[in-house]
Structure 1
Amino acid sequence: MDFADIFIHDTTWAFLGEILVRCVMMFAMIILFLRLTGKRGIRQLSIFEVAIILSLGSVAGDPMFTEDLPLVQAFVVMACIITLYRLTTWLMMKNQAFEDLLEGKPLYIVKAGELVLEDVKKGKYSQDEFFAEMRQQNTEHLGQIRVALLESDGKLSILFYPNEEVKYGLPLFPEACSIVKHIEPDAHYACSYCGHVQNIQQARQACTRCECKTWAVAINTARLT
């Protein structure tokens, strides 16, 4: 067995240059596609950790079983990816705008017991997914929440009102959040789309905040801890 064939084979300097170009392009494409999937797609890992896992995992696999793929090519690819990773993280530390461009900014999902509709859409969650996250943090209705923030790593951070300051809010559990068809004079009602609580006279009245016409009975129960 010729050890030169194992490590170098027929690799040329021109092909090594091509590998470097391909690495830069593929690394950029991985970051782009991860950003397009939204925060939900990466969860606890950062975008760059996922990029490294995908890139290095693919690079490490092929040389293991491809006879004419020398190890030097995989080494060059890995070195290039790690260099790009280090460069990118350094740029993010030096430039906040660059970090925001790649990783995104935290998004306000709930403020003062109401959904922040513009940021909810940016977060690429469905409303049910947001509600599921809130329920998992022992939240019964939006009126218990002072602020809910979708972090850049996909986690939902919540600040709650003290129990004595809990407001009327949209219920988060499906059975309690059923759409009303008849209005009771002494009840509070929350818009099923944005969570805004207001007095209404008819079941199909438009919400003054988002113009939705479906309502659920609002509740103001204290949070159980």
Structure 2
Amino acid sequence: MKDIFEWSRILFNDLPEIFLFEVIFRSVIMFTVLLLTLKIAGKRGVKQLSVFETVIIIALGSAAGDPMLYEDVGILPAITVFVVIILLYRMITWLAAKNKTFEEFIEGKTECIINEGRFSITTFKKESLAQDEFFSELRLKSIEHLGQVKNAFMETSGEISTFYYEDEEVKFGLPILPFLFNAKSKMIAESGIYPCTFCGFTEEKKTRSSDMPPLQKTRVG
């Protein structure tokens, strides 16, 4: 029968002390894997926290939880993980402060998604952001169509910030209300102002192919 407070088991789980060096190696590898995985997942996958902050939380949470619950996980290896993660955190934040390119790789950078009522197509594709998801975010801000939006930015946290035209400057724009957007068509029944459902560009059409029904200007409510 094992003693309740068997210190060699509690601290090392009967592993050799040199195993701590393996723990350091494992921690560095897994930290890097977590960082790259969440980086690939994109900002929206870690909304409200930066990729780097999310990695820290996951790594420390796992290191702290296992030795609390499982008797076969030694406390000293877990503490070693904490030390390695904190040192990596200090090193990466220092490098990010010194190197703008490295900072953008770790934290990402703010990207313009909508510019003067139109999609920035290159940026939108790069962010791997679904159009429906983006429209949902805008509707939560009481936006009815893109003509109301002067600029929209994807922040490093994954949040979307929007800047509006003044009421008298509101333009025609791509409607984002589902019942209007879903009424898109390649044919038009009458002349009017039509938007492109891909980029949001609007122009007057004369009874020929189009992507949307005629629009009306609406003000930001």
| TM-score, normalised by the number of residues in structure 2 | 0.91
- Where 1:62 maps in the other structure, the secondary structure is helix
Q: Which structure 2 residue ranges, 5 or more long, are not aligned? A: none
Q: Distance in 2 between matches of 1:202 and 1:38?
A: 42
Give the Cα separation in 1 of the matches to 2:217 and 2:151: 16
Confirm or deny that 1:91 pairs with 2:88.
no
Matched, 1:201 2:198: no
Residue 158 (str. 1) matches residue 143 (str. 2): no
- Is 1:14 the counterpart of 2:11? The answer is no
What residue in structure 1 maps to residue 55 of structure 2? 51
> Superposition pairs for residues 80-159 of structure 1, below 5 Å?
80-159=84-163
Q: Deviations over 1:139-168 (max 9, x none)?
A: 111001111000111010111000011111
Same amino acid, percent of matched pairs: 39
* 1:220 partnered with 2:197: no
Aligned residues: 215
Q: Aligned pair 1:188/2:185, yes or no?
A: no
Looking at structure 1, the residues matched to 89 and 152 of structure 2 have their Cα atoms a distance apart, in angstroms, of: 31
Q: Secondary structure at the match of 1:105?
A: coil
In the alignment, structure 1 segments of 5+ residues that lack a partner are 206-213
Task: Find 1:173's aligned residue among 165, 170, 177.
Answer: 177
TM-fit CA distance, 1:13: 4.1
Separation in 2 of the partners of 1:9 and 1:171? 62
8 Å contact 1:110–1:146 — kept in the other structure? Answer: yes
TM-score (norm 1): 0.89
User: What corresponds to 1:210 in structure 2?
Assistant: none
SS in 2 for 1:27: helix
Letter in 1 for 2:16: T
User: Is 1:59–1:77's contact at 8 Å kept on the other side of the alignment?
Assistant: yes
Alpha-carbon RMSD across the aligned residues, in angstroms, is 1.6
